[in-house]
């Protein structure tokens, strides 16, 4: 008769650092996106030109700054409906990231599978973006995501092999 074993993070104590780093990374990204979602939601019914002008004055940014003009061009295309859509999408993705992060931090096996599936599902999109317009940041993010998937797959395999060795 085969015995089913469940492995908790405390039983996998020799590799928790990698899982904790990934969990912290996912939690930070999730919290940041949550803040962006609230920000986009709060801007949905405001005059964006006035809001940007206010923050330019607060931070004493040169109004002729090239980067500021690029930012203003991006804001020009945002209407209240588009901001609402962005906030909903941001909240959804923040919920996914926070679910991954909390699950990994609590040592849940399902979170490792969930993180592999979610993270690897973005790799084709990241590759497309890199081929469309390559930047160092896009390449670094792709490499981080590939490393996360690789590490979690190895961790799951290691735990599975360890569990099989323990069964009589």
Which pLDDT does position 167 carry in this prediction?
A: 57
In the block, tokens 């395999």 appear at: 157
pLDDT grade for 79, boundaries at 50, 70 and 90: confident
User: Shortest CA distance to 163 belongs to which of 5, 1, 2?
Assistant: 5
121/59: higher pLDDT: 121
pTM: 0.75
Cα separation, 141 vs 138, in Å, equals 5
Average pLDDT of the residues in 82-104? 94
Cα separation, 63 vs 53, in Å, equals 9
Average pLDDT of the residues in 36-49? 81
pLDDT grade for 165, boundaries at 50, 70 and 90: low
Q: Tokens representing 125?
A: 């999109």
Contact partners, residue 166, CB within 8 Å, separation at least 6:
5
Which pLDDT does position 161 carry in this prediction?
A: 79
Average pLDDT of the residues in 34-53? 81
Query: How many Å is the Cα radius of gyration of the chain?
Result: 21
Cα separation, 11 vs 21, in Å, equals 18
Contact partners, residue 123, CB within 8 Å, separation at least 6:
142, 145, 146, 149
Q: Tokens representing 119?
A: 């993270």
Which pLDDT does position 11 carry in this prediction?
A: 47
Average pLDDT of the residues in 58-65? 77
Cβ 43 vs Cβ 74: under 8 Å: no
Which pLDDT does position 98 carry in this prediction?
A: 98
């Amino acid at each position: 008769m085969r015995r089913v074993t469940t492995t908790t993070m405390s039983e996998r104590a020799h590799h928790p650092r990698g899982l904790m780093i990934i969990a912290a990374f996912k939690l930070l990204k999730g919290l940041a996106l949550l803040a962006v979602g609230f920000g986009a939601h709060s801007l949905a019914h405001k005059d964006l030109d006035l809001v940007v002008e206010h923050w330019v004055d607060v931070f004493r940014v040169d109004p002729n700054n090239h980067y500021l003009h690029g930012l203003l061009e991006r804001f020009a295309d945002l209407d209240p409906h588009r901001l609402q859509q962005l906030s909903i999408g941001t909240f959804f993705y923040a919920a996914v990231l926070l679910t991954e992060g909390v699950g990994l931090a609590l040592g849940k096996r399902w979170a490792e599978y969930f993180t592999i599936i979610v993270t690897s599902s973005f790799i084709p999109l990241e590759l497309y973006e890199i081929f469309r317009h390559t930047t160092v940041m896009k390449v670094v993010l792709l490499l981080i995501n590939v490393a996360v998937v690789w590490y979690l797959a190895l961790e799951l395999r290691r735990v599975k092999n360890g569990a099989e060795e323990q069964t009589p």
